[in-house]
A and B are shown apart, each in its own frame.
Chain A
Amino acid sequence: MKLTNNELIGLYRDMVYIRQFETRVQELFAAGVLPGFIHLGIGQEACMAGTCFNLVDGDIIGATHREHGVLLCRGVEGKAIMAELYGKVTGTCKGKGGSMHACGLKQGALGNNAILGPAQTIVNGFAYAHKFRKNGKVAVTMFGDGASNRGEFHEGINFASIWNLPSIYIINNNGYAISVPKSKQQKVEDLSARAAGYGIPGVQIDGNDIITVVETVSEAVKRAREGGGPSLIELKTYRWRGHFEGDPTPYRTNEELESWKKKDPIARFEKILTDQGITTKKDFGTINAEVKAKVDECQKFAEDSPWPPMSEIYTDVYYHNEGSVQQ
C-alpha cells in the first residue's frame, strides 16, 4: 500500500492528538474537574488512527467509551468532545452524555456506547442501509476482547455474515475485560479465529504498528465496499491506563505495563518516519507543540462554555415527551 509523506505525517499527528487529548483528560479527571466516569485509550492510538484513516464521508463507526480518539480522527471537533466531558452545553450531546456517550453523528461516529456489545449489532443496521442503497459505504465497529464474549458480538457477526453486509468488526484486544485477563475469559486466545465459525475472514495483527493497521483495515474496507462482505480484524494492543481512571490495576504487573510501553505505537512510528527520512526530531517537536496548543484550546473552550440551564434538564432525555416532563 502506497502512502504519501503527507498521509504518514497526518497519521502521526492523529496519534499525537489522541495521546495528548487523553492525557489532558486524565489530568483533569484526577484534579476533580471532570465529572462522571472516564476510560482512556492511551496506548491504543494506532488502532484508532489506523482504522479511521480508511474511512470516508458516509461511512459509519460505532466504538466504545474508550475510543474518544475515534471521534477525534473522524473529524469531530475536539472542543465539542472536551466540552461534553465537562458536561457543558457546547458538548456533542449538549453536556448530557459525557464520556460514555460523546458522538459525532454528522461524521458517522455513532458515539461511545456505554454498554459494551450492542454496537456490534447496531452497525449492521447501517451496513444494511449501505448495501440496500448500493452506496459503497461501510460500517465499522470497534470493541474490546471482553465485548467479544457477549452474545451481541456473535449475533451481530452472524447476521453480518449471512447477509453479506459491509460490516467490519475490529477487536482491540488489550488483554483484559475490565480486570479479567484473557486467559480467564476465553478458551481460545486468537479472537480472529472466531471468524471461521461465521464463514468470514479473520486476521490477527500488531495493533501497535500503525502501518500494519492501515494496510489491513484498508483491505477489509476495500473488500466490504466491493461487496465482499464482512471481516474480523483482531488488533493486539494494550491500554496503559486502568480500565477506568482510578482503577488501581491490581490484576496486572508493572513489568507487563513497562514491556508494552516499549511497544509504544507513537515512538515506533517516530522511528519509522526518521529511518525513512520523512521527518526529523524537530518536526516531531513542532507537531507536538501544535497539538498541545489545540488541546489547550479544547480545554479553554470547555471551561468557558456554559452549563446546560436547569430549564433544559429533561430536554433530549425522553423521546416522546421532549421538554415536557414534569419534575
Chain B
Amino acid sequence: MIGIIANPASGKDIRRLVAQGTVFDNMEKVNIIQRILVVLHEAGVNDIRMMPDSFHIMDSAVEALHRGLRIDVNVTELEMECEYNQGDSANAAALMKNMGAQCIITLGGDGTNRSVAKGCGDVPLIPLSTGTNNVFPKMIEGTVAGMAAAVVELDSERAYVQTRRCKRLCIYKNGELVDMALIDAVVTADRFIGARAIWEPDAIKEIFVTSARTDSIGMSAIAGYFHPISETDPKGLYIRTGVGGGFSIRAPIAPGMIQEIPIELVRELKPGERTAIHTAEGMLALDGEREVSFKKGDTVEIGLGHDGPFVVEVEQTLASAARGNFFVRRN
C-alpha cells in the first residue's frame, strides 16, 4: 500500500509578503497528485490511501483523471477525524503505518514532514517540496516520485529500494521530550507563535541544525555558509548569534532575502549529546515554524539523534531498479 499526504496549507505563509516566496496553489498540488496516481495506476498499484484534507485534493485529482484521461484510479481516503491542522498529517501517517504502507509520499515543506515524521515510524518517505524554505523535501517531479513509489511497492524482496535514515533534533523542556525537528530548531526572542515563520534577523538567538547546507535557504543556510555539514554526516551544528564573536555571516534566510547574522559561537553537535539553550525566555521555532514557548525558569535542551524518519533515495532506487531490468518489458 502507498500512502499520500498532501498538506493543503503549505506554501502560503507570511514569507510571500516579507520575502519573495511564491504562492504554491493547491491546484498545482492536485496536478502533482494526478501525475503520481497515473504512474501508480500504470504500474498496477491498486492500494493507495490519501489523507483527507479541506481542499479535497484527492477527489479533484481523481475526477480530473476520470474526466480528462478516462483513467479510474483505485485510491481511497483514510477514514479519520480531521482537525484541519498539522496534527492531521501525524495522525494520517500513523494510520498508514498501521495499515502496512510501504512508503508515504508527502507534499509539503519541512514543517509538513516534521508532522509526518511524528507518526510514520519506520515507513520510508518520499518527500516532495511544496513549501517555502525546504531542506528536507526535494524538488522531485511527481511522475518520478510515482515511479519510485511503484518500485517500493512492487520490490517485495527489497532488491532495489534504497533508503536513508535521517537525523532529527529532540526538544526537551524541563527534562521531558516535548517535540522534534528534522532540519532546524531556532531559539527566538518572539513571545508568540503568531505568523509562525522567522524573518527578522534580530529575533534569531540560537540555531541548531541537523544539516548545514549551502544549497538551501533558511537556518540551514546560515549554518552552511560557515560550516557545511551534509545530511549523511553524523554531526549537527550549533550557532549562537551575537556580536561577541567578532564576525557575521551573510546568508539567504528566506526566499530572495539575504541578511547579515552576527555570530558569537559555533560548535558541532554530537549524536546523543544534549545542549541547553542559552536564552532565558522566548519561542522555539521548529523546521521554520514557531512552536514551543518557554519562560524564565524553564530548562530547554536540544539533542541530536539519528533516529529520524527513513527516506527513499529516489535517484539511487530508480537507477538500481533500472540496472535490474525492473522497467524492461519483453515482447
Contact present for B23 and A215 (CB under 8 Å): no
Q: Does B165 lie at the interface of the complex (its beta carbon under 8 Å from any beta carbon of A)?
A: no
Q: When each residue 188-204 of chain B gets 1 if its CB lies under 8 Å from chain A and 0 otherwise, what string results?
A: 00011111100010000
Contact present for A205 and B195 (CB under 8 Å): yes
Q: Does B25 lie at the interface of the complex (its beta carbon under 8 Å from any beta carbon of A)?
A: yes
Partner pick for A272 among B18, B22, B192, B200, CB 8 A cutoff: B192
Contact present for B14 and A216 (CB under 8 Å): yes
**Given A188-B26, A219-B14: A275 touches B54 (CB 8 Å cut-off):** no
Which residues of A have CB within 8 Å of B26?
Answer: 188-190, 193
The answer for the CA separation of A272 and B283 in the assembled complex, in Å, is: 13
Contact present for A188 and B25 (CB under 8 Å): yes
- How many interface residues does chain B have, given as a range? 20 to 34
Contact present for A276 and B191 (CB under 8 Å): yes
The answer for the CA separation of A72 and B23 in the assembled complex, in Å, is: 33
**Given A190-B12, A223-B17: A202 touches B194 (CB 8 Å cut-off):** no
Q: Does B278 lie at the interface of the complex (its beta carbon under 8 Å from any beta carbon of A)?
A: no
Q: Does B8 lie at the interface of the complex (its beta carbon under 8 Å from any beta carbon of A)?
A: yes
Q: Does A129 lie at the interface of the complex (its beta carbon under 8 Å from any beta carbon of B)?
A: no
Contact present for A215 and B14 (CB under 8 Å): yes
Which residues of A have CB within 8 Å of B195?
Answer: 205, 211-212, 215-216
Which residues of B have CB within 8 Å of A272?
Answer: 192
Contact present for B13 and A202 (CB under 8 Å): no
Which residues of B have CB within 8 Å of A276?
Answer: 191-192, 293
Contact present for B293 and A275 (CB under 8 Å): yes
* Best-buried of B23, B27, B54 by chain A (most CB within 10 Å): B23
Q: Does A121 lie at the interface of the complex (its beta carbon under 8 Å from any beta carbon of B)?
A: no
Interface residues of A in 189-208 (CB under 8 A from B): 189-190, 192-193, 195-196, 201-205
B55: nearest chain-A partner, CB-CB: A189
Contact present for B23 and A189 (CB under 8 Å): no
B21: nearest chain-A partner, CB-CB: A201
The answer for the CA separation of A204 and B11 in the assembled complex, in Å, is: 9
Which residues of B have CB within 8 Å of A212?
Answer: 193-196
Which residues of A have CB within 8 Å of B17?
Answer: 201, 203, 216, 219-220, 223, 231, 233
Q: Does B16 lie at the interface of the complex (its beta carbon under 8 Å from any beta carbon of A)?
A: yes
Contact present for B193 and A201 (CB under 8 Å): no
Q: Does A67 lie at the interface of the complex (its beta carbon under 8 Å from any beta carbon of B)?
A: no
Interface residues of A in 219-244 (CB under 8 A from B): 219-220, 223, 231, 233
Q: Does A209 lie at the interface of the complex (its beta carbon under 8 Å from any beta carbon of B)?
A: yes
Q: Does A183 lie at the interface of the complex (its beta carbon under 8 Å from any beta carbon of B)?
A: yes
The answer for the CA separation of A202 and B9 in the assembled complex, in Å, is: 13
CB distance from B7 to the nearest CB of A (A): 12
Q: Does A31 lie at the interface of the complex (its beta carbon under 8 Å from any beta carbon of B)?
A: no
Contact present for A211 and B192 (CB under 8 Å): yes
Which residues of B have CB within 8 Å of A310?
Answer: none
B200: nearest chain-A partner, CB-CB: A1
CB distance from B253 to the nearest CB of A (A): 15
CB distance from B190 to the nearest CB of A (A): 8
The answer for the CA separation of A215 and B17 in the assembled complex, in Å, is: 11
Q: Does B270 lie at the interface of the complex (its beta carbon under 8 Å from any beta carbon of A)?
A: no
Q: When each residue 301-321 of chain B gets 1 if its CB lies under 8 Å from chain A and 0 otherwise, what string results?
A: 000000000000000000000
Which residues of B have CB within 8 Å of A195?
Answer: 16, 23
Which residues of A have CB within 8 Å of B8?
Answer: 189-190
Which residues of A have CB within 8 Å of B18?
Answer: 219
CB distance from A214 to the nearest CB of B (A): 8
**Given A203-B13, A203-B17, A205-B14: A193 touches B25 (CB 8 Å cut-off):** yes
Q: Does B56 lie at the interface of the complex (its beta carbon under 8 Å from any beta carbon of A)?
A: yes
Contact present for B14 and A209 (CB under 8 Å): no
Contact present for B14 and A203 (CB under 8 Å): yes
The answer for the CA separation of A156 and B92 in the assembled complex, in Å, is: 41
CB distance from A203 to the nearest CB of B (A): 5
Partner pick for A188 among B14, B16, B27, B293, CB 8 A cutoff: B27
Contact present for B194 and A211 (CB under 8 Å): yes
Which residues of A have CB within 8 Å of B54?
Answer: 189
Contact present for A192 and B12 (CB under 8 Å): yes
* Best-buried of A183, A203, A277 by chain B (most CB within 10 Å): A203
Partner pick for B194 among A1, A187, A192, CB 8 A cutoff: A1
Partner pick for A202 among B16, B27, B191, CB 8 A cutoff: B16
Which residues of B have CB within 8 Å of A190?
Answer: 8, 12, 23, 25-26, 55
The answer for the CA separation of A223 and B13 in the assembled complex, in Å, is: 16
CB distance from B237 to the nearest CB of A (A): 28
| Given A205-B195, A215-B194, A277-B295, 4 other A-B residues pairs in contact with their CB atoms under 8 A | A3-B191, A188-B26, A203-B16, A211-B195
Q: Can you offer 13 A-B residue contacts whose CB atoms are under 8 A?
A: A3-B191, A195-B16, A195-B23, A196-B22, A202-B12, A202-B16, A203-B17, A204-B13, A211-B194, A212-B194, A215-B194, A216-B17, A219-B18
The 8 closest A-B pairs by CB, nearest first: A211-B194, A204-B12, A193-B25, A215-B195, A211-B192, A189-B55, A201-B16, A219-B17
